[in-house]
Amino acid sequence: MVSQRITPKELSNLLVEKHQKFIEEYKKEFDILDRIFVLKEKQDQLEYWLHDSKDDPEKNQKYLKAMRAADKELLKLNEELKVLYSSNSNETETHNVPKTNLKGRYNLLKNRIEMHKEAITYWDKKLKDLSKDKEAKKRGKVKKVGELKKKKAKKAKRTKKARK
């Protein structure tokens, strides 16, 4: 088996890609859960308004219509979540929070996304540092070559003077 050497720059790029992949994966589920929580809050608010608008049939109908739309959207999102979970069931599960505990899952995903963003920031900084180091080494080599040429020129002058 031949092992392939990976440069620090390639490794950093691979790690950034890995973290971006995780963010994309987690973000899909996180966005659905976020929308579910917003809709549940909307439902609570609509229920409160429905209760208060019993005397006003026009407002009552308006709130009922909005409530039905929110229910329909929630059903759609729950279905999306089921599809997402079933498509991810083949992958190795790395999360300890059960998918039935939506609030805990939401918080876990939020933390994971944040951690991966921080990791990307770290590796991006490493890449910049590697580029700076490479540039500094290049400049150092150029200086050394320039210094060697100057030394050779001085030596040649001294040798020339000594011959005279």
Confidence of residue 66 (pLDDT cuts 50, 70, 90): very high
Q: What is the 3-state secondary structure (H, E, C) of 27-67?
A: HHHHHHHHHHHHHHHHHHHHHHHHHHCCCCHHHHHHHHHHH
Q: Which residues contact 124 (CB under 8 A, 6 or more apart)?
A: 16
Instruction: Report pLDDT for 85.
Output: 87
Asked whether residue 21 carries a pLDDT value surpassing 70, the answer given is yes
Domain boundaries, the chain: 8-133
Taking the whole predicted model, whether its pTM rises above 0.75 is answered as no
Asked whether residue 4 carries a pLDDT value surpassing 60, the answer given is yes
